[in-house]
């Protein structure tokens, strides 16, 4: 009967066992089901040169910015996992910056386009196949030609100076269009305009910092984003670091905010925004007076310059004297944060100064222009989207002008058809009607010439991850045609190297194409009062808006990279967040507190930022970092605060882009948003962490630290063959964070995001700390005395961590390393508590990598699990590879054969690694220097990492200076 319950007898023992057996058999059958095939080696055919388990190295050229550094890419069984600098490349000489290290994250970016995209009838971008996409592209081209509007085709793309440049120009010519507009947001338009006035050629010269005996910069961020930061970092170390030269040159930086470049200066002049041209012409006048030469240009007295710039006249006179006494010297003009309406005039004064000082031909070489000379001006780019523009077909190639110039959006809508060759979605590509996704440069053939005498090769490091095609092949109408064009082009280059040899070397040095230039033909601007007219600012607000570039994100293109977000910005030590900066006196006067959300209002727009309070900005300025605030750029970039670009407007006076032209007001929002500040405190509290000495002290015993009495940690480790050690020169370290990015890439370090950084659970194995002077010698406004100090594991001989581990997971190796047995660790964290250097990291969660980022992992390094402690290992996997090769080939390990990841990438060669038991090794010789010290050596931990104290000049008062240090004076 319906609804009656059926009574089931309880199973007996025999029935239960029969049922259990059937279930087990079913589970076994399920477990034996055929799984989808999983590719272990992503190779079309095995490489006969490949040795399983041993990485291969292939040359390439970095395209993360226009500098064009040479690369060597480490490939593990067909997967690129790490980028290094190419030692044969004359630009970067084997080094890479943070952005170059993140290139593999771009290759494996989860937000890359998987296939072509076509906008449907409902206005949505939908995936399509290549035949359909190319047919639509050809149909649109045919329509444009039928309308007789081939001249209205516009190419707007990233800078190309190699074979692809010729392919693009040839294709545009066949369509009846003008040449390409190469778009680089940070291209120095003011410099080119000034060179056109001074020398008749709108070129970007080559600057030799390493030759200068005195340097003055009016804002050029040459250690961050200006022209070629890795090249300049090495040159700066050769000029300024006591570790590279016994007579360091003096460096003066000018700017309203202390940038990373200015933090490495001996003097910082916090000049009022807009006063840079007045200051530069006053300096030129004083130099001309001391040299007894006439100055053709505006005549500005020192008192007038001091009044308008708020820089002491005595400092200007001293700088002029240093420039006159130094042979040769170098003066640089504006960078992005000082590019206001007076920037061209500043550069004219700089050109006059270098001409007066005889620097042309030694430290300034206009005959070797940088590739950025080929870029379009910002005004040319803005004109493409101006009201009433005639653009019929817009071709976008790795360019994102809508992010930098929100004012172009209405003009972008007006373009009838837009094609993007982007690799991933961005604020401009989202408006495209057709997306023909390009290979990442690590999957493509190409070349790039950063200047006329250097060309770098680009070759595929792996098969393409997705259904993408090389842009050159699309334009040439066939797969592989770009490769053939490049091979033909390189066959005609000077030199006897074969094609295979060129691929291995990765760089060619052809004869430079001479630029018509006469040093004696400099044309000075007429004297006049045009200075005042060009330093006007928009708006009636109280504060100057200072937007400064980012060493991590460049112009914003690296914002969707985990490492760039997780590694703290060098000056603020803030990760993942954009922020605004105010001076403490200004914040107190306005009633703002740290982490308050401040609303910045300009004549062009408004934006909200959390507040960071710092003394390293003028009281009448508010600073905001460039590069964050994306709305449609990927999972790691979207939602990271707001962008400063809507505040800036689109001023291009006289055809020169001037981003720093706004005065703003600040408003309370009543909200707070805590910033992820990874180092809130910069005071050393007399703990002698980052020390400095004078040159005289560095040459005497006074610079040597004393070791305290014996501790209860007994030094009892015998080292039979090696004791690996490291030295770090604080005079050379510029705080660029390249070492941190290299460590992330090499050692499979997990990224925990904004919330993890706020909880101080970041996992970096080497952190770059920043300290401000010492108690006895505090930093001043004129002398910031910023000291950067990398902090890896010290690999102590008497390691406090080893004594407290209850399961012996922390142990000492016979080569002096503090080992960590991951499978033995139970996560008590006693070792972290007992580490006086605080360099151990605990995995609070199981690390996760969004696919395909997991393909970047180094197979030679264990991926740590939840509950495990980890730390710097001195790249033990690299040590073992070299030791294995030495045993196999019956050879000795030479000094320098082993390089840690941080050492290999350091642009200034601040880090040296080697065997402390070898008295002839470089690390032993540096450790024996008088200015060498072990951090907290009084605790008798016997660290294997030694630091060389920083040597620098310090200003005591206007009108006088003397060298100083933390040692006896």
pLDDT per position as a tens digit, 643-678: 999 999 766 666 788 899 999 999 999 999 999 999
Q: Percentage of the chain with pLDDT > 90?
A: 76
Closest of 811, 913, 931 to residue 871, by C-alpha: 811
pLDDT at 367: 83
Which residues neighbour 20 within 8 Å (Cβ) at sequence distance 6 or greater? none
Domains of the chain by start residue, with CATH? 206-365 (3.40.228.10), 538-677 (2.40.40.20), 692-964 (3.30.70.20)
823: pLDDT strictly greater than 80: yes
In tens, the pLDDT along 32-62 reads 444 445 455 555 566 677 777 788 999 999 9
Going from the C-alpha of 763 to that of each of 109, 146, 755, 757, 943, the distances in angstroms are 21, 59, 13, 9, 22
* Least confident residue range of 6-20, 691-705, 715-729, 764-778: 6-20
In tens, the pLDDT along 356-412 reads 999 999 999 988 899 999 999 999 999 999 888 899 999 999 999 999 999 999 899
Sign of dihedral through CA atoms 652, 653, 658, 661?
negative
- Coil, strand or helix at 946: strand
**Whole-angstrom Cα distance, residue 281 to residue 526?**
13
| Cα-to-chain-centroid distance, residue 646 | 24
Rounded to the nearest 10 degrees, how much is the dihedral formed by the CA atoms of 524, 527, 528, 534?
30
Q: Residue 604 in contact with residue 648, Cβ under 8 Å? A: yes
Question: Would you tell me how many other CB atoms lie within 10 Å of the CB of residue 704?
Answer: 17
Q: Residue 456 in contact with residue 128, Cβ under 8 Å? A: no
**Mean pLDDT across 65-93:** 95
pLDDT band at 957 (very low <50, low <70, confident <90, very high): very low
pTM of the complete model: 0.91
Average pLDDT value over all residues in the chain = 88
Question: Would you tell me how many other CB atoms lie within 10 Å of the CB of residue 679?
Answer: 15
Q: Scanning the structure block, which residue is given the tokens 């081209």?
A: 141
**Whole-angstrom Cα distance, residue 899 to residue 601?**
50
pLDDT at 4: 43
**Mean pLDDT across 259-286:** 95
Question: Would you tell me how many other CB atoms lie within 10 Å of the CB of residue 405?
Answer: 23
pLDDT at 136: 97
pLDDT band at 773 (very low <50, low <70, confident <90, very high): confident
**Mean pLDDT across 760-787:** 82
In tens, the pLDDT along 87-129 reads 999 999 999 999 999 999 999 999 999 999 999 999 899 999 9
pLDDT band at 930 (very low <50, low <70, confident <90, very high): confident
470: pLDDT strictly greater than 80: yes
Q: Residue 695 in contact with residue 788, Cβ under 8 Å? A: no
pLDDT at 955: 33
Q: Percentage of the chain with pLDDT > 70?
A: 87
Judging by beta carbons within 10 Å of its beta carbon (0-12, 13-18, 19+), is residue 690 exposed, middle or buried? buried
pLDDT at 30: 43
pLDDT band at 452 (very low <50, low <70, confident <90, very high): confident
pLDDT at 19: 59
């Amino acid at each position: 009967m319906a609804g009656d319950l059926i009574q089931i007898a309880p199973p007996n023992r025999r029935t239960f066992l029969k049922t259990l057996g059937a279930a087990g058999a079913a589970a076994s059958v399920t477990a034996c089901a055929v799984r989808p095939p999983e590719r272990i080696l992503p190779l079309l055919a095995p490489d006969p040169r490949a040795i399983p388990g041993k990485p291969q190295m292939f040359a390439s050229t970095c395209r993360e910015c226009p500098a064009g550094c040479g690369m060597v890419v480490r490939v593990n069984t067909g997967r690129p996992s790490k980028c290094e600098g190419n030692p044969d490349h004359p630009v970067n000489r084997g080094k890479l910056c943070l952005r170059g290290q993140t290139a593999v994250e771009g290759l494996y970016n989860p937000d890359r386009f998987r296939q072509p995209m076509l906008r449907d009838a409902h206005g949505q971008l939908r995936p399509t196949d290549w035949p359909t996409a190319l047919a639509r592209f050809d149909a649109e081209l045919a329509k444009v030609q039928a309308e007789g509007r081939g001249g209205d085709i516009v190419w707007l793309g990233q800078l190309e100076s190699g074979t692809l440049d010729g392919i693009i120009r040839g294709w545009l010519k066949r369509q009846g269009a003008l040449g390409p507009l190469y778009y680089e947001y940070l291209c120095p338009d003011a410099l080119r305009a000034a060179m056109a006035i001074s020398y008749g050629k709108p070129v970007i010269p080559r600057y030799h910092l390493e030759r200068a005996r005195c340097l003055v910069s009016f804002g050029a961020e040459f250690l961050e984003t200006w022209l070629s930061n890795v090249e300049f970092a090495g040159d700066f170390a050769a000029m300024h670091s006591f570790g590279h030269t016994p007579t360091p040159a003096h460096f003066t930086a000018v700017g309203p905010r202390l940038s990373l470049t200015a933090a490495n200066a001996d003097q910082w002049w916090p000049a009022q925004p807009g006063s840079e041209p007045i200051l530069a012409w006053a300096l030129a006048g004083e130099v001309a007076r001391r040299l007894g030469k006439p100055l053709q240009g505006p005549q500005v007295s020192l008192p007038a310059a001091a009044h308008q710039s708020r820089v002491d006249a005595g400092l200007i006179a001293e700088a002029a004297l240093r420039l006159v006494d130094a042979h040769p010297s170098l003066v640089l003009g504006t960078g992005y944060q000082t590019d206001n309406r007076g920037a061209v005039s500043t550069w004219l004064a700089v050109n006059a100064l270098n001409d007066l000082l005889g620097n042309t031909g030694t430290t300034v070489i206009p005959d070797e222009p940088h590739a950025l000379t080929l870029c379009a001006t910002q005004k040319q780019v803005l004109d493409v989207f101006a009201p009433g523009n005639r653009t019929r077909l817009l071709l976008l190639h790795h360019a994102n002008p809508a992010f930098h110039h929100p004012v172009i959006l209405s003009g972008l809508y007006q373009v009838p058809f837009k094609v993007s060759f982007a690799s991933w979605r961005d604020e401009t590509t989202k408006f495209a009607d057709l997306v023909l996704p390009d290979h990442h440069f690590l999957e493509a053939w190409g070349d790039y010439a950063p200047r006329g005498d250097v060309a770098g090769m680009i070759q595929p490091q792996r098969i393409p991850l997705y259904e993408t095609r090389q842009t050159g092949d699309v334009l040439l109408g066939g797969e592989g045609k770009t490769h053939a064009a490049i091979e033909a082009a390189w066959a005609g280059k000077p030199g006897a190297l074969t094609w295979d040899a060129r691929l291995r070397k990765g760089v060619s040095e052809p004869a430079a194409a001479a630029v018509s230039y006469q040093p004696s033909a400099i044309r000075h601007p007429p004297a006049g009062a045009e200075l005042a007219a060009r330093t006007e600012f928009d708006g009636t607000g109280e504060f100057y808006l200072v937007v400064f570039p980012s060493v991590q994100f460049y112009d914003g293109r690296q914002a969707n990279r985990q490492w760039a977000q997780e590694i703290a910005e060098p000056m603020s030590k803030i990760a993942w967040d954009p922020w605004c900066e105010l001076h403490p006196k200004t914040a107190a006067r306005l009633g703002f507190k740290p982490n308050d959300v401040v609303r910045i209002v300009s004549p062009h727009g408004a934006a909200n930022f959390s507040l960071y309070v710092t003394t390293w900005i003028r009281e009448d300025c508010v600073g905001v970092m460039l590069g964050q605030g994306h709305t449609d750029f990927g999972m790691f970039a979207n939602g990271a605060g707001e962008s400063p670009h809507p505040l800036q407007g689109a001023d291009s006076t006289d055809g020169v882009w001037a981003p720093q032209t706004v005065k703003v007001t600040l408003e309370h929002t009543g909200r707070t948003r805590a910033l992820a500040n990874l180092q809130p405190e910069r005071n050393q509290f007399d703990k002698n962490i980052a020390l400095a000495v004078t040159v005289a002290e560095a040459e005497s015993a006074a610079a040597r630290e004393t070791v305290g009495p014996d501790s209860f940690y007994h030094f009892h480790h015998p080292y039979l063959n090696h004791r690996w050690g490291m030295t770090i020169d604080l005079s050379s370290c510029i705080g660029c964070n390249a070492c941190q990015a290299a460590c992330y890439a090499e050692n499979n370090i997990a990224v925990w995001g904004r919330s993890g950084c706020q909880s101080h659970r970041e996992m970096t194995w080497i952190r770059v700390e920043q300290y401000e002077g010492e108690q006895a010698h505090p930093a001043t406004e004129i002398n910031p005395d910023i000291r950067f100090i990398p902090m890896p594991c010290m690999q102590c001989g008497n390691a406090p961590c080893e004594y407290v581990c209850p399961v012996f997971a922390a142990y000492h190796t016979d080569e002096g390393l503090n080992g960590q047995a991951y499978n033995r660790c139970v996560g008590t964290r006693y070792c972290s508590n007992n580490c006086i250097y605080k360099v151990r990291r605990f995995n609070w969660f199981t690390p996760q990598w969004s696919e395909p980022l997991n393909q970047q992992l180094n197979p030679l390094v264990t991926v740590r699990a939840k509950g495990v402690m980890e730390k710097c290992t001195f790249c033990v996997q690299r040590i073992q590879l070299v030791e294995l090769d030495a045993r196999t080939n019956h050879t000795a390990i030479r000094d320098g054969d082993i390089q840690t990841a941080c050492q290999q990438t350091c642009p200034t060669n601040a880090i040296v690694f080697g065997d402390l038991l070898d008295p002839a090794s470089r690390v032993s010789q540096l450790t024996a220097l008088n200015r060498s010290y072990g951090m907290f050596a009084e605790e008798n931990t016997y660290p294997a990492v030694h630091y060389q104290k920083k040597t620098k000049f310090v200003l005591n008062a206007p009108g006088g200076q003397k060298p100083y240090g933390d040692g006896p004076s």
